[in-house]
Chains A and B, each alone.
Chain A
Amino acid sequence: MSTPGDISTLGAVLTVAFLVAGAAITLIGSLGLLRIDTFYGRAHASTLGTTLGTAGVAIASIIYFSALEMRPALHGLLIIVFITVTAPVSLMVLVRAAVFRNEFENQPGPPEASDNEPG
């Protein structure tokens, strides 16, 4: 098994803090995928969890490689920006498809859809 390179203790502690926090938030989002009953609740939970968890892990990666190479290594920002932009888009496209399919088969839609019709 390969081992991490030498970095300062402060860098290691910060890296591990962000890494474990990001992974735990991702796990919480995915547990929501497992536990919540309705499709719309599941979509909500997993999207929120993975977005924030990605930010945590990518920030840990930025801190680690900056400390390892002694220069700002900002590659992780690309992943943060990309996931932050695409996660709501895929959520919206997927929920639209689900609303369409539920309406088509006369199944219950999202909670607010019965009160005010979409324009």
Chain B
Amino acid sequence: MSAILVWGILCAQSLLGLALACSTFRILRGPRAQDRVLGFDSLYVNAMLLVLTFGIQSGSLLYFEAALMIAVLGFVSTVALAKFLLRGEVIE
């Protein structure tokens, strides 16, 4: 184990944690519904990147599949929420 890897991963994780905090602020504070959906869209991508860094930290490829799952489900839920904002229902 090299020290640069440990500290670099910690640094990247704290940067991603700050990004998560920004997205959460937009979800809680967003003046309108589309701002909250946008914050959620940014939140799931940031969480997925954090899971990827956990995978690098532990050297396991299992985290990778969890990250792919988060990406797929996050995209579907963003589109569903946007469709709901557009039409008032998701499946017509």
Instruction: Using CB atoms and an 8 Å cutoff, list the residues of chain A in contact with chain B.
Output: 2-7, 9, 12-13, 15-16, 19-20, 22-24, 26-27, 29-31, 33-34, 39, 42-43, 46-47, 50, 53-54, 57-58, 60-61, 64-65, 68, 73, 75-76, 78-79, 82-83, 86-87, 89-90, 93-94, 96-98, 100-101
Contact = CB atoms under 8 A, between A and B. Distances in A.
Interface in B1-18: 1-2, 4-6, 8-9, 11-13, 15-16, 18
Contacts of A4: 1-2, 5-6, 9, 56-59
A33 B26 contact: yes
Contact of A57 (B6, B26, B52, B79): B52
B91 interface: no
Which 5 pairs across A and B sit closest by C-beta, in order of nearness? Answer: A16-B8, A30-B19, A30-B22, A23-B12, A23-B15
Given A26-B16, A83-B71, A50 B46 contact: yes
Interface of B: 1-2, 4-6, 8-9, 11-13, 15-16, 18-20, 22-23, 25-26, 32-35, 37-39, 41-42, 45-46, 48-49, 52-53, 55-59, 61, 64, 67-68, 71-72, 75, 78-79, 82-83, 85-86
Contacts of A46: 23, 38, 41-42
Given A23-B19, A93-B79, A97-B86, 8 more contacts: A20-B8, A27-B22, A30-B46, A42-B26, A61-B55, A65-B61, A76-B64, A90-B82
